[in-house]
A and B are shown apart, each in its own frame.
Chain A
């Protein structure tokens, strides 16, 4: 009986986290389309509900009632598993995101490694979907995205090492608290820029949306998907984008910390500040989508391996030597 109540408590906590995440994913799709439209002097979705806020719900309803078509020559188990994997991985990562010093589902020791691991697993949904479709365009899209995500993961990993050098802990709450005096975006500004660009590539956002480049690959790995399975890919993708924004906010923008550490601001709950920072980063993502044209594939690889990786490695050496020389290394 005692076990059961603990389980119920945990399930309640998980639902309390996941339902807002899913709703905000729907809202974020609307925001993405609105920002994109405003940059191009269009209106964007503005018909369903106030300001078109319910557009995503209408879309979701449409997807639910569409028929799911499974290609007859596909590998059925993997074909069905792929969107589930994408969606699950995008959602389980939220378990370690701290919304305030105490509001975190799982305050684990290796939080940032967990986030990194889950985001690097995200490539499987895409590869599985592309391969199981047994069709040329999805396969090409999957191979492209595998190479792209593996490449940019490396530089994200090195950037995380940069931050960890300054913190001395892998716990996400410790990372946030270490930024009490100064957000890491100030001393590590070049790393923040590289993180932002790598996050764009990692989540297959424009200008790095080559896995689904519609002009050449129809829709890439999701060409053969329809109905709810397509919607799950799409939800997972946006949940991943939100997650990357959250990761950026925690690593560089002080997480749930208020921007000014004075009385009236500290009263505001930490979740508000974190969500605000995530939103600001997401609007930047949306602006990039509207402004920048798509990269050529060879230049994408060149940027990842020949520019970002050496630069962030050099920055690791610099950070380490600076901290060591001025005896600032965090010791506990």
Chain B
């Protein structure tokens, strides 16, 4: 039990400190690295409460894919930042009201969660959690997700699909005048149509069409 507590506090301290560092650090790339550290320690916490599937999926999806794309974008931003300083110093910030609204919302959500803990302690009873059942976390998640919540699950999948198509449509643009390489055409070229032997008359030259 002592070892459990030691690990819990280590991971949670790392998670909180790195979450603070995400907003506090000046370098945006460092922020993303702290965000990754935060994700990793939170997935460790997930594993500690017996939700090993969630922890691993967190690692795969957030750290392995989402954060890589974050890093990608932020590194590109950094390259641009060295040229024009628009990113670093804007004294009159318009983000503060929006940020205030969002942080108040999150604050009240946290109040609700902690209030639930206070007034309905049986929800957070360890005996009700998945950790004590004989079924593994993956199985129990699958059994709930694909039976009781199948519609919610499908709808969230649809929303993600629509978002993906929307992003593609927004960024897609047909450029004209660009020579495209057709894979099939390149492979299926025959000698007969690729090579032509011409009789060149002196001082006349040959007209090559492209």
Tell me whether B68 and A123 are in contact (CB under 8 A): yes
Which chain B residues (39-98) contact chain A, with CB distance < 8 Å?
52-53, 56-57, 59-60, 63-65, 68-69, 71-72, 75
Complex interface: chain B residues within 8 A of A113 (CB): 53, 56-57, 60
What is the number of residues of chain A that contact chain B, defined by CB distance less than 8 Å? 27
Tell me whether A110 and B52 are in contact (CB under 8 A): yes
Q: How many A-B residue pairs have CB under 8 A?
A: 62
Tell me whether B57 and A146 are in contact (CB under 8 A): no
**Interface readout for B111-152 with A: 1 if CB under 8 Å, 0 if not?**
000000000000000000000000011100000000000000
A147 CA / B75 CA spacing, docked (Å) = 13
Q: Is A61 an interface residue (CB 8 A)?
A: no
Given the known interface contacts A113-B57, A150-B65, the answer about A127 and B138 at a Cβ–Cβ threshold of 8 Å is: no
CB closest chain-A residue, reference B3: A3
Complex interface: chain A residues within 8 A of B72 (CB): 143, 146-147
**Interface readout for B161-172 with A: 1 if CB under 8 Å, 0 if not?**
000000000000
Q: How far is the CB of B76 from chain A (nearest CB, A)?
A: 8
Tell me whether A146 and B68 are in contact (CB under 8 A): yes
Tell me whether A110 and B138 are in contact (CB under 8 A): yes
Tell me whether B57 and A150 are in contact (CB under 8 A): no
Q: How far is the CB of B32 from chain A (nearest CB, A)?
A: 10
Complex interface: chain B residues within 8 A of A166 (CB): none
Tell me whether B71 and A116 are in contact (CB under 8 A): no
Q: Is B108 an interface residue (CB 8 A)?
A: no
Given the known interface contacts A109-B136, A113-B53, the answer about A131 and B75 at a Cβ–Cβ threshold of 8 Å is: yes
Q: How far is the CB of A143 from chain B (nearest CB, A)?
A: 7
Q: How far is the CB of A103 from chain B (nearest CB, A)?
A: 22
What is the number of residues of chain B that contact chain A, defined by CB distance less than 8 Å? 23
A170 CA / B71 CA spacing, docked (Å) = 30
Q: Is B21 an interface residue (CB 8 A)?
A: no
A299 CA / B181 CA spacing, docked (Å) = 10
Complex interface: chain A residues within 8 A of B57 (CB): 113
A35 CA / B98 CA spacing, docked (Å) = 61
Complex interface: chain B residues within 8 A of A131 (CB): 29, 71, 75
Q: Is A311 an interface residue (CB 8 A)?
A: no
Given the known interface contacts A120-B65, A127-B71, A143-B72, the answer about A109 and B33 at a Cβ–Cβ threshold of 8 Å is: no
Q: Is B36 an interface residue (CB 8 A)?
A: yes
Complex interface: chain B residues within 8 A of A110 (CB): 52-53, 56, 138
Q: Is A314 an interface residue (CB 8 A)?
A: no
Complex interface: chain A residues within 8 A of B136 (CB): 109
Q: How far is the CB of A4 from chain B (nearest CB, A)?
A: 12
Complex interface: chain A residues within 8 A of B69 (CB): 150
Q: How far is the CB of B167 from chain A (nearest CB, A)?
A: 15
Q: Is A22 an interface residue (CB 8 A)?
A: no
**Interface readout for A1-42 with B: 1 if CB under 8 Å, 0 if not?**
001000000000000000000000000000000000000000
Q: Is A228 an interface residue (CB 8 A)?
A: no
**Interface readout for A127-150 with B: 1 if CB under 8 Å, 0 if not?**
110010000000100010011001
Complex interface: chain A residues within 8 A of B53 (CB): 109-110, 113, 170
A302 CA / B180 CA spacing, docked (Å) = 14
CB closest chain-A residue, reference B43: A117
Complex interface: chain B residues within 8 A of A224 (CB): none
Complex interface: chain B residues within 8 A of A305 (CB): none
CB closest chain-A residue, reference B76: A143
Q: How far is the CB of B180 from chain A (nearest CB, A)?
A: 11
Given the known interface contacts A78-B33, A110-B52, A150-B65, the answer about A116 and B60 at a Cβ–Cβ threshold of 8 Å is: yes
A269 CA / B69 CA spacing, docked (Å) = 44
Tell me whether B138 and A153 are in contact (CB under 8 A): no
A212 CA / B80 CA spacing, docked (Å) = 24
Q: Is A114 an interface residue (CB 8 A)?
A: yes
Tell me whether A108 and B52 are in contact (CB under 8 A): yes
A128 CA / B74 CA spacing, docked (Å) = 13
Binding site for A on B (CB under 8 A): 3, 29, 33, 36, 52-53, 56-57, 59-60, 63-65, 68-69, 71-72, 75, 136-138, 181, 183
10 new A-B contacts at CB < 8 Å, known A121-B59, A170-B53: A110-B53, A117-B59, A117-B64, A121-B63, A127-B71, A127-B75, A128-B33, A131-B71, A131-B75, A146-B72
What are 29 A-B residue pairs whose CB atoms fall within 8 Å in the complex?
A109-B52, A110-B53, A113-B56, A113-B60, A116-B56, A116-B60, A117-B56, A117-B60, A117-B64, A120-B59, A120-B60, A120-B64, A121-B59, A123-B64, A123-B68, A124-B36, A127-B75, A131-B71, A131-B75, A143-B75, A146-B68, A146-B71, A146-B72, A147-B72, A150-B65, A150-B69, A170-B53, A298-B181, A302-B183
Closest 5 CB pairs of A and B: A120-B64, A113-B56, A117-B59, A117-B60, A110-B52
